[in-house]
Amino acid sequence: MTNTPTSEEEIRQRVAALRDHAPRVRQTSVEQRRAKLQRLADALLDRRQTFYDALRADFRKAPVEVDLTEIKAVTKEAEHAITNLGEWMAPDRVSSPLLFTGTRSEIHHEPKGTVLIMAPWNYPVNLLLGPLVGAIAAGNCVALKPSEHAPNTAHAITELIADLYEEREVTVFTGGPETAKLLTAQPLDHIFFTGSPTIGRRVMTAAAKHLTSVTLELGGKSPTVVDATADLDHAAGRIAWAKFTNAGQTCIAPDYVLVEDRIHDALVDQIQTCVRQFYGASVAAQQASDDYARLVHDDHYASVTSLLSDAVETGASVAVGGRHDPETNFVAPTLLTDVPLDATIMQEEIFGPLLPIIAYESLDDALQIINDRPAPLTQYVFSERETTIEAILNRTTAGSTSVNEALLHFLNPNLPFGGKGQSGIGRGHGHWGFREFSNERSVLRRSYGSDLLQPLYPPYDRLTSRIADWVLRFF
């Protein structure tokens, strides 16, 4: 399946049509927006098999993973917005100082206008249509750019959107980096980008030309800390599931594990047990498993296997896995021990099924390793010791943190999702997604009474100075 790149002239014309139609869309009611969101949720459920087939063709994603990490993630987001949209759209009343007696102050939530959503290939439905929920809820016209590296899914999304919405309201642009470059050069009102920090910088640079606001959901090296009090069976299961789902191609997957030295070997053994239970006891079984994905394309396969080779060459040991096959872009679930901190695999986001497991003697050592790296998109801690949990929350920083859990925070629409610094800018999901695509417009109106500030009009004299002094002291 291929998707024909959109030409420069077509991009210009279609974005202009979105901009022309945006004033009308901004006037849509709560019920009209709810109906648009319900159509999206219903259509995704109706086309489950279409997306099973598309994601299987793109990188052998298992149907259960499609249900839970792609379709359910979007339908849950839509259901949450439908339920709460009336409250979100209503003006927020705020208090006014006593000096402003007779006025009323509110915050109105108006759409930004014409927005662009650019998604990566690893969760091509979720990371494109999840933000679309917030954009529609906020009353915007939307340009969608799916990844060219998941072409079958991009084709399915293009057909879905064409069947649901007018092209001048929500439209899909296909193609690769050149299409993305042309789109980000357009006079847009907001860009929501999910991807790597490298491309995020390019998006932000392009947006600066038009002073377009941005949301950047990037990545980073998300650490996992396991101390000696943790429930090892539970921790190992959650770590293995979070890491090897989608063959590790998840921006919030555990990137490396820091484990208290006295339980290091036990944790490695328990994660190995989980891998065998999940995907098979041998490499052949794992390759035959319908539940284990492949790396999306040859370049990514080469990148991940290069990280593995470099790690081994610099002293790391392969405790589990390590096998790979270039014919199918298969890389086995792999656990690495004795990994040097200066190895490339500990400097770059892995984004694949390689998991360094590093022993630490004191929690201070673990925190130093975390803080020596840029703020991650997320971090995990498995512990029953409250002092460990509080130390991690108070002495590190991250976009999000899960305690004795993994991945689930992403699926809670009541929690904002996003990064910090190199791992991202802005927040999405639920009310935060609605706000990200909205302009929060301050409105102050006088309802009654006289103007108490009139005595402060020029020309300034001694009485004016006394009144100003009074205002400073008592208001």
470 assigned to some structural domain = no
Same domain, 158 and 227: no
Same domain, 276 and 309: yes
Same domain, 233 and 204: no
- Per-residue pLDDT of 301-324, as tens digits, reads 999 999 999 999 999 999 999 999
- Per-residue pLDDT of 69-109, as tens digits, reads 999 999 999 999 999 999 999 999 999 888 788 889 999 99
**Does position 425 have pLDDT exceeding 80, yes or no?**
yes
Same domain, 159 and 230: no
381 assigned to some structural domain = yes
Q: What is the mean pLDDT of residues 336-353?
A: 96
Check which CATH number belongs to the domain holding 73 and give it: 3.40.605.10
466 assigned to some structural domain = no
335 assigned to some structural domain = yes
457 assigned to some structural domain = no
Check which CATH number belongs to the domain holding 364 and give it: 3.40.309.10
Domain hosting residue 281, numbered range: 223-415
Q: Which two tokens stand for residue 126?
A: 């979720």
Q: Over the chain, what is the mean pLDDT?
A: 95
How many CB atoms lie under 10 A from the CB of residue 410?
22
Same domain, 79 and 135: yes
How many angstroms separate the CA atoms of 447 and 81, rounded? 33
Q: Which two tokens stand for residue 206?
A: 């392009």
> Into how many domains does the chain fold?
2
170 assigned to some structural domain = yes
Same domain, 105 and 195: yes
71 assigned to some structural domain = yes
Q: Which two tokens stand for residue 230?
A: 């943790």
Enzyme catalytic residues: 217, 251
Same domain, 183 and 295: no
Q: What DSSP assignment string belongs to 255-307?
A: -EEEEEGGGHHHHHHHHHHHHHHHH-SSHHHHHH-TT----SSHHHHHHHHHH
Contact 340, 346 (CB under 8 A): yes
pTM check: above 0.85: yes
How many angstroms separate the CA atoms of 330 and 150, rounded? 17
Angle between helices 264-279 and 232-244 (to 10 degrees): 50
Q: Which two tokens stand for residue 407?
A: 């991945």
Among 100, 116, 150, CA closest to 295: 150
Same domain, 137 and 197: yes
Contact 354, 304 (CB under 8 A): yes
Same domain, 140 and 178: yes
Same domain, 205 and 335: no
pLDDT at position 447 is 83
339 assigned to some structural domain = yes
- Per-residue pLDDT of 218-268, as tens digits, reads 988 999 999 999 999 999 999 999 999 999 999 999 999 999 999 999 999
First-residue to last-residue Cα distance in the chain? 67
Same domain, 310 and 197: no
Q: What is the mean pLDDT of residues 153-171?
A: 97
Same domain, 318 and 381: yes
